[in-house]
Structure 1
Amino acid sequence: MAHIGIKKLTRQVEIKSDGDVFHELFRSKPHHISNIAPTHIQNVDLHDGDWGSVGSIIFWNYTHDGKEKVAKDIILAIDEEKKSVTFKIIEGDLLELYKTCILTVHVEPHGEISLVTWTIEYEKLTEDVEDPTSLLDLCIALTKDIETYHLVN
């Protein structure tokens, strides 16, 4: 069997809402996301550790490609300077397709706008598994919902 190897997908989107608020949401208040974007994220629970701490384990109920799914992740890294948070999936639906799945959300403020970059590092379990582009679509849709929420509220 050929070694599949770790691949990386990245997508960026501009938002008009405050990048610091966006970063703070993913860093230490992900449990608020289900109130902001309930069509994508239905529930977020802390399973171990503290909100906003590296090593904390978070459980997500979310909708992906029209199906209800779950993910348990561990916060691998928080970089306050770069405004990034990295999550590694350790249980859930994604691990039925991917041996490894690590998501990083990175926010760069640029005056009136902020640039949000989502990166997924992944290793497929088998060659015939699709790249997680629809997961990136979900991340971008979630980003837009959070932007809309913050612009309205």
Structure 2
Amino acid sequence: MALSGKVSIEFGIKATISQWFNLFHKNLNQVQNICERIPEANVHQGDWHTIGSVKNWTFIIDGKPVKHKEKIEAIDESKKTITWSFFGEDLGQQYKVFKITMQLNGKENGSYLLKWIIEYELVNENVEPPYAYLDFLNKSSKHVDDYLVGA
């Protein structure tokens, strides 16, 4: 079994690319108020929106709280992508490397696509690839999309 890899999920969204990008780029602190699978989030060092700032998060993964730290690695406003690295606490016991990238794309027919990509390196071969995190991202994204459409 490979100890590192990538997994991804892509689906259509109803809200606009600018609504999604604005939320995750300029209003990340609001995500915990929108999504019930994120019961806690706060700034550890820096602020919510600057590359390199560190935040503490708790996600509900497979029905259990998972704590970790996160920092923004890269923001590309022209390509509408953001990459975060996650580390430490509960997550660090399973993954040496854990990065999530959000990509937003428009299609010729005027619809919008959201793609989540997880790059990971397992601490050992007894750890499963992060499929539960893809499920978390899928379900949470539907919550966020519904909120943005209603906003």
Assess, with a 3 A threshold, how the Cα gap between structure 1 residues 109 and 44 changes in structure 2: closer, same or farther: farther
Residue 62 of structure 2, aligned match among 61, 65, 78 = 65
**Residue 49, structure 1, aligned to residue 55, structure 2:** no
Q: Give the TM-score normalised by structure 2.
A: 0.91
SS in 2 for 1:21: helix
Name the structure 1 match of 2:131: 133
Give the TM-score, by structure 1 length: 0.90
SS in 2 for 1:134: helix
Q: What is the CA–CA distance in structure 1 between the aligned matches of 2:13 and 2:94, rounded to whole Å? A: 31
- Give the Cα separation in 2 of the matches to 1:92 and 1:116: 28
Runs (4 or more) in structure 1 with deviation over 6 Å come to none
The one-letter code matched in structure 2 to 1:104 is T
Alignment of 1:82 with 2:79, yes or no, is yes
Deviations 1:100-123 (A, max 9, x none): 111111111336432111011101
What is the alpha-carbon distance in structure 1 between the residues aligned to residue 66 and residue 9 of structure 2?
22
* One-letter amino acid matched to 1:136: L
SS at match of 1:145: helix
Shift of 1:93: 1.5
- What is the rounded CA distance, in whole Å, between the counterparts of 2:32 and 2:111 in structure 1? 24
Q: 1:101 aligns with which of 81, 98, 110?
A: 98
SS of the equivalent of 1:27 reads: helix
Please tell me the root mean square deviation across aligned C-alpha atoms, in Å: 1.6
- Contact 2:3 2:124 (8 Å CA) reproduced: no
Gaps of 5+ in 2: none
CA distance in 2, matches of 1:62, 1:43: 8
**1:66 Cα offset (Å):** 0.3
* Alignment check: 8 A CA contact 1:104 1:118 kept: yes
- Cα distance in 1 for partners of 2:17, 2:103 equals 9
The 8 Å contact of residues 3 and 123 in structure 2, kept in 1 or not, is answered as no
Aligned residues: 150
Partner residue in 1 for 2:113: 115
**Secondary structure at the residue paired with 1:104?**
strand
Amino acid of the residue matched to residue 28 of structure 2?
P
Q: Does 1:142 align with 2:114?
A: no
Q: Which structure 1 residue ranges, 5 or more long, are not aligned? A: none
TM-superposed deviation, 1:94: 1.5
Aligned to 1:30: 28
**Percent of aligned pairs with the same amino acid:** 31
